[in-house]
């Protein structure tokens, strides 16, 4: 994960034409101190502090950043997580980009922690998906781990996952698709696990017949998930997915899958509430 490049692109997007407001108001340096404060409820999981520091470093290397917390920590309401001192013009230039990263990533980490807490007591693991913001996948998946979750594939080359549209293009034969991938994967220099998406018990049996390593139970209701897990009986790893919410995840966990993948961790996480106050010094 190259934080420097990600931050540089974000700053170029925001400061490409310069900060005309700050330039007009302050022709000379203005000594100032800025504090970023957690305004969220006490369950906030901080993520992106290192990225925020990198933002201010790139805007103005003379700024002094003093973190008061660590990424992955649970932060009480009202906590100052970062203090930045130096030229107030530089603080103004970095404020929005730094907050954007902190609010987005902390939101993901906090929501992930809520899902993990909801399945406490079960051995199931909460995993993310590829439903991420283009260009920010590495950061967003990092935030998931800070919240206690686990990462699914980072990209299409990280593992075989035969989905509904793959099956549609191959005639819908689940077992045949698994065997075809298994045969061709033998030529690869690394051993890739074969995962296949199924929606019925018949397709679950076909996935077993085809030798799938992981069977993704997609959009099944809880009774169907339970029956599928019983049918598989440890012969493959099981993953439940599709429309999982905080209200339903514990019941799904009780049905016995090894993993529950939740797209909402990255595509629907609420923005965390952090703010920055800048005052002269």
Residues labelled as active-site residues: 96, 131, 163, 197, 218
Helix, strand, or coil (residue 18): coil
Distance CA 139, CA 130 (A): 12
Q: Which residues contact 158 (CB under 8 A, 6 or more apart)?
A: none
- In 3D, which of 112, 103, 194 has the Cα closest to residue 150? 112
DSSP type of residue 237: E
Q: Which helix (H) or strand (E) holds 196?
A: strand 194-198
Residue 236 backbone dihedrals phi, psi, to 5 degrees:
-155, 155
Residue 135 backbone dihedrals phi, psi, to 5 degrees:
90, -15
Residue 251 backbone dihedrals phi, psi, to 5 degrees:
-65, -40
């Amino acid at each position: 994960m190259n934080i420097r490049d990600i931050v540089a692109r974000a700053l170029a997007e925001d400061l490409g034409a310069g900060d005309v407001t700050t330039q007009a108001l302050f022709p000379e340096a203005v000594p100032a101190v800025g504090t970023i404060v957690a305004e969220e409820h006490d369950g906030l999981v901080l993520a992106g502090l290192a990225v925020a520091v990198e933002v201010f470093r790139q805007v103005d290397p003379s700024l002094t950043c003093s973190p008061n917390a660590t990424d992955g920590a649970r932060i009480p309401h009202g906590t100052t997580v970062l203090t930045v001192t130096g030229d107030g013009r530089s603080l103004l230039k970095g404020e929005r980009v730094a907050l954007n990263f902190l609010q987005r990533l902390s939101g993901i980490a906090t929501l992930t922690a809520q899902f993990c807490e909801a399945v406490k007591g079960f051995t199931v693991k909460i995993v993310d998906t590829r439903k991420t913001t283009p260009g920010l996948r590495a950061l967003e998946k990092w935030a998931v781990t800070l919240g206690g979750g686990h990462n699914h594939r980072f990209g299409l080359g990280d593992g075989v996952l035969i989905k509904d549209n793959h099956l549609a293009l191959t005639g819908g034969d689940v077992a045949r698709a698994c065997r075809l991938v298994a045969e061709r994967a033998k030529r690869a220099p690394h051993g890739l696990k074969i995962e296949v998406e199924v929606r019925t018990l018949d397709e679950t049996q076909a996935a077993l017949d085809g030798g799938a390593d992981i069977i993704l139970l997609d959009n099944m209701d809880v009774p169907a998930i339970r029956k599928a897990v019983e049918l598989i009986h440890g012969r493959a790893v099981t993953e439940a997915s599709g429309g999982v919410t905080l209200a339903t995840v514990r019941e799904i966990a009780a049905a016995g899958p090894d993993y529950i993948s939740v797209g909402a961790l990255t595509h629907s996480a609420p923005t965390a509430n952090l703010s920055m106050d800048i005052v002269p010094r």
